[in-house]
Chain A
Amino acid sequence: DIQMTQSPSTLSASVGDRVTITCRASQSISNWLAWYQLKPGKAPKLLIYEASTLESGVPSRFSGSGSGTEFTLTISSLQPDDFATYYCQQYNTYSGTFGQGTKLEIK
């Protein structure tokens, strides 16, 4: 099975900061990687798919990069609505393994 390792597990930042979250796959997944945003009590939201493609309606301050085994999610200028938990997910295989999550907190 493909394992996904996400870091950091918690990130403290301020409005306006640029932040980066990293996700590593245990084997190459090409660009079959997605990023999601989770908020308590709400449905998860797809942000990025195929490693770098922005989902329709997602603000352009979100961006993704990487291929193979190393991937990043960058938020260029944090907004108050961005404080949430973020997950990467590989879908190179039908079992869409998720990373452990990164909780983005207000500093």
Chain B
Amino acid sequence: EVQLVESGGGLVQPGGSLRLSCAASGFTFSSYAMTWVRQAPGKGLEWVSAISRSGGSTYYADSVKGRFTLSRDNSKSTLYLHMNSLRAEDTAVYHCAKEKGSGSYESWGQGTLVTVSS
């Protein structure tokens, strides 16, 4: 069974940093591109960032470009999202997701809450 478990969320002050992790199991992690999607309170889904199977290519939403860095450790089946210069508008539940192959997201974690507030 595919499992994606996010961790690392919490309360951080504006301008601060956090590192989110997504531990994957139940599939060959290195064979799949991975993605982060967030949902702010009362809002819809927003794609944040994606990474290729090898980690050689990364992509970011304009809203996080230059502040967030996505990486993966295929030996540990773990995805990392390093978030710097956090803003109030980054407050959201962050989900990691496994891409199906053509780009849809076939498995999701339950998410980790990031709250940016003073």
Q: Report which A residues bind B (CB closer than 8 A).
A: 32, 34, 36, 38, 41-46, 49-50, 55, 87, 89, 91-92, 94-101
Contacts and interface: CB of A to CB of B under 8 A. Distances in A.
Q: For chain B, what secondary structure do more than half of its interface residues adopt (helix, strand, loop), or is it mixed?
A: strand
B108 A44 contact: yes
Contacts of B108: 43-45
B47 A96 contact: yes
B46 A98 contact: yes
B110 interface: yes
A55 B59 contact: no
A96 B106 CA distance: 13
Interface range for B: 20 to 34
B50 interface: yes
B44 A95 contact: no
Given A36-B45, A43-B95, A87-B45, 18 more contacts: A36-B105, A43-B107, A43-B108, A46-B100, A46-B105, A46-B106, A46-B107, A49-B106, A87-B44, A89-B105, A91-B102, A91-B104, A94-B59, A95-B61, A96-B104, A96-B105, A97-B47, A99-B44
